[in-house]
Amino acid sequence: MPIIEDHKQNYLQRFQNTDMFSFIHILIAIGTALCFIMNTLVNWFISRKRPTYPPIQDELLIKSVGELVAELRQKKITSHQLVRAYISRIQAVNPSLNAVIENRFEYALKDAQHADSLIAKANNAQLVALFARYPLLGIPFTVKESAGLKGLSFVIGNIYRQNMKCEHDSVVAERLRSAGCIPLLVSANPEFCMSYETNTIMNGKCRNPYDLNRVSGGSSGGEGALNGAGATPFGLASDIGGSIRLPSMFCGVFGHKATGGLIPIKGSFPYVEDPRFAQYLTAGPITRFAKDLPILLQVMAGDDSNKLKFHEPVKLKDIKIYYAYGFSGCEALMHLPTAFDIQLAITRAVKCFEKGGLTTKQVNLNKFGNAREIGIRALSELHGIPSVTTQSPPKIRTLIWQLILSLIGKSVHNRDAVFMEWMRLEKAYISDKQADELRAESKKLKEELVQMLGENGVLFLPTFPTSAFAFNTSTLNLVGVGLMLLFNILGLPATHVPMGLDHRGLPIGFQVVAAPYQDKLCLQIAAELEGAFGGWVPPLSHDIKA
């Protein structure tokens, strides 16, 4: 296949083309080197701040959504018990994590009482019908602030939106409520969701549940932190460039970015009418348990879940696995090297499937060399994206001034939000001619990927090159997002799979990618890996009383 074999030709064409070897590539190479040095120094000198919150002590908190639904249906537990247990856990961990923007605990307990009354009144036959209509009846969940929950904060980290409330549930939040789910709160995200570090002037730092000196990721950082700490059964999040997958990786849990356009984003922030936007941005679940992902995805996708053909399973032995560790040769100079522990996790997974008789093949990533440029330029061409400065149209000089102020801690905006908006307005300094070449390259790359993966192929790739980085380093670490952002632009589904902890005690893992509408393959592989390697590793050993 070309994507496997043609990497040398691709690299030579890229750098023999003087248009493509532009100023932006020089900056990226310099930024990559600086980022590598910075991360290395930080890892040497930063001390690990272990969790200061208590371990899980309630057995309800370590059960999957599927298990909880079964126990509710069998009347072994009540929704009120379950909601109270998660409220207590959130109250225990949030002083350390700072993951909550606003809660609705009082209303959630009332919702739980209503769910319990419906269950209590039903006989066995009626229970079947009740849970057919409300498949997640009585299950609490949490919501990323930008995903839109009626009556709760809709500030999205921006000072000009202070005290703003969401007027209507987003489509996905409404679908979850209609399935019987009970929202508990809205969780932290960076300003306008434009950062891989959830750290805002409005709400402060959202901390990693495994190391309080490190980030929980972004932009669904609050959901990552709560899930990683065992403080929610699952979270509603969103992803336009890794915003589900990166927090899932940094916080040691599962996260799925669905096929582009599968899950509607109406009612979330930002929402623009540009049809490309609904392909790039997708809502999705974050959860500790891979076996919950199909249940949640079907509810979130609504009637469109039929496109996923869950009723037509693929036999595990028929799945073909392609994998890659990172970039090689001179192309590696333009990308962060993949940490050894992450490479080892991919190797362990591949060897596991080889023992099971599956076909595996290593591919070369150099064909993905322009992933960053493809993604950034595609996002810059979207129309209607609001400005963090509220100016219409936004002014470059204002952004530059705010960026300078952010360097000395005097800006009212998040540094990454300002920087990313600047890059978007300047179209990442990629010329229109270069953009045409990138669009053609993107189209060809998608065609080759779809042909290679087909209806039974998956691709293992690093989600991000390193485990969680330190606060205030995300701007330089933007150089590592290409392999997440690319699949938003191409519209391919991707699931982050946790694979234990690295030598620093931080979560690691990788993403599993499939062809459009083959989400079920990603979820099937995630479940197999969870069974083989354990999935989520809690930050603290449980202390459950018998």
Closest CA to 480 of 469, 492, 496, 495: 469
% the chain with pLDDT above 90: 88
Catalytic residue ranges: 144, 219, 243
The region of weakest confidence among 14-18, 161-165, 410-414, 479-483 is 14-18
Question: Residue 347 has what pLDDT?
Answer: 98
CA distances for 273 relative to 241, 279, 516, angstroms: 19, 11, 22
Question: How far is 219 from 183, CA to CA, in rounded Å?
Answer: 19
Q: pLDDT by residue (tens digit) across 188-201?
A: 999 999 999 999 99
Q: Provide mean pLDDT across the span 471-484.
A: 95
CB < 8 Å & 24+ apart, contacts of 389-393: 389/413, 390/160
The mean pLDDT of 311-328, rounded to a whole number, is 96
Q: Give 235-256 pLDDT, tens digit per residue.
A: 999 999 999 999 999 999 999 9
Strand, helix or coil for residue 306 = helix
Share of the chain above pLDDT 70, in %: 95
3-state secondary structure labels for all residues of 431-494: CHHHHHHHHHHHHHHHHHHHHHHCCCEEEEECCCCCCCCECCCHHHHHHHCHHHHHHHHHCCCE
Lowest mean pLDDT among 19-33, 316-330, 331-345, 419-433: 19-33
Burial of 303: CB neighbours in 10 Å, binned 0-12, 13-18, 19+: exposed
pTM given for the model: 0.96
Going by C-alpha positions, the residue among 413, 172, 138 that lies closest to residue 271 is 172
**Angle at Cα 490 formed by Cα 485 and Cα 496, nearest 5°?**
50
Averaged pLDDT score across all residues of the chain: 94
* pLDDT tens track for 135-146: 999 999 999 999
pLDDT (0 to 100) of residue 431: 86
Least reliable range by pLDDT among 326-330, 372-376, 464-468: 326-330
Q: Which strands make up the sheet holding 507-514, listed edge to edge?
A: 100-103, 182-187, 140-144, 234-239, 282-287, 254-257, 494-501, 507-514, 457-461, 320-323, 359-362
Backbone angles phi, psi at 59, to 5 degrees: -60, -25
Q: What is the pLDDT of residue 17?
A: 46
Is the pLDDT reported for residue 288 higher than 80? yes
Q: How confident is the model at residue 428 (pLDDT cuts 50, 70, 90)?
A: confident
- Indicate the burial class of 320 (C-beta count within 10 angstroms; 0-12, 13-18, 19 or more): middle
Tens-digit pLDDT profile for residues 519-539: 999 999 999 999 999 999 999
Secondary structure of residue 221 in the 3-state scheme: helix
pLDDT for 2 equals 59
- Which pLDDT score, from 0 to 100, does residue 26 have? 80
Q: With beta carbons less than 8 A apart as the criterion, state whether 292 and 298 touch.
A: no
pLDDT of residue 11: 45
Domains identified in the chain and CATH numbers: 2-9+53-533 (3.90.1300.10)
d(CA 239, CA 177): 21
